[in-house]
């Protein structure tokens, strides 16, 4: 498993982005990276598309190949929105990351880089035991039309398939990253699909709205209800698309 943290430290007027302060965003990225470094043992790739290099902060980890930091200048077509920029980041990482390309057949967890998935170790451990390596995991809404793109796990080749449709993304026309992700989940039958059987506990601030993601207290009854919901979603998905 490789964690791919996507980043844009200086959005410089990106459409539909409320959180624009580069210093504040940089602090959140550094904080999230430190969380994954201290709380997991997964290799980490941080790919950033505004040309803001933070590799000097993590030199010891870079030298030990614990983390790889990629930096390039993207977002040339800001009118398409941050979803298109996210695709550019994923594509750049697939093309240039030594960690990703030296790991044959490995799964990649794509995470919006300012966010912390607090229970990521438990999620990865459980789903690795229960499902094959060809399974893509992603939370999705009740009518199976809009997945949660903040965090999903997929085989490396799934991302290549997904990126073939990136030119369709245009936030100003109401066609988002999530629409392409949903299309790929439905149509790419080489991979099985499952919602997360544990709800990802995500901590951080939305770049679109500026609101905090709050983790409510999780009770045993809630966990049971969530597992039942996820299993029913998986059953409905296979009935409709497989």
Domain map of the chain by residue range?
A: 2-241
Q: For residue 51, name the pLDDT band (cuts at 50, 70, 90).
A: very high
- pTM exceeds 0.85, yes or no: yes
CATH number for the segment(s) 2-241: 3.90.550.10
Q: Which two tokens stand for residue 66?
A: 């614990």
H/E element, 27: helix 22-39
Per the prediction, the chain carries an average pLDDT of 92
Q: Collect all residues with Cβ–Cβ distance below 8 Å to 175 and sequence separation of at least 6.
A: 168, 169
CB 6 within 8 A of CB 112: yes
The model's confidence at residue 104, banded by pLDDT at 50, 70 and 90, is low
Q: Are 233 and 194 a contacting pair, CB within 8 Å?
A: no
């Amino acid at each position: 498993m490789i964690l791919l943290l996507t980043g844009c430290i200086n959005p410089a007027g990106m459409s539909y982005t409320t959180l624009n302060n580069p210093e504040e965003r940089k602090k959140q990225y550094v904080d999230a990276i430190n969380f994954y470094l201290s709380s997991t043992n997964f290799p980490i790739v941080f790919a950033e598309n505004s040309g803001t290099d933070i590799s000097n902060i993590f030199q010891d980890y870079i030298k030990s190949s614990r983390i790889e930091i990629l930096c390039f200048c993207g977002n040339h077509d800001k009118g398409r929105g941050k979803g298109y920029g996210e695709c550019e980041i994923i594509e750049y990482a697939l093309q240039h990351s030594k960690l990703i390309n030296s790991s044959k057949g490995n799964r990649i967890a794509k995470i919006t880089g300012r966010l912390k998935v607090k229970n990521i170790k438990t999620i990865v451990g459980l789903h690795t035991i229960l499902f094959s390596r060809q399974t893509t995991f992603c939370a999705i809404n009740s009518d199976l039309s809009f997945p949660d793109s903040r965090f999903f796990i997929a085989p490396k080749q799934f991302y290549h398939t997904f990126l073939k449709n990136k030119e369709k993304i245009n936030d100003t026309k109401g066609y988002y990253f999530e629409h392409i992700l949903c299309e790929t989940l439905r149509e790419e039958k080489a991979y099985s699909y499952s919602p997360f059987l544990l709800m990802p506990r995500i901590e951080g601030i939305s770049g679109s709205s500026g609101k905090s993601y709050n983790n409510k207290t999780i009770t045993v009854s809630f966990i049971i209800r969530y597992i039942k919901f996820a299993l029913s979603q998986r059953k409905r998905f296979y009935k409709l698309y497989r």
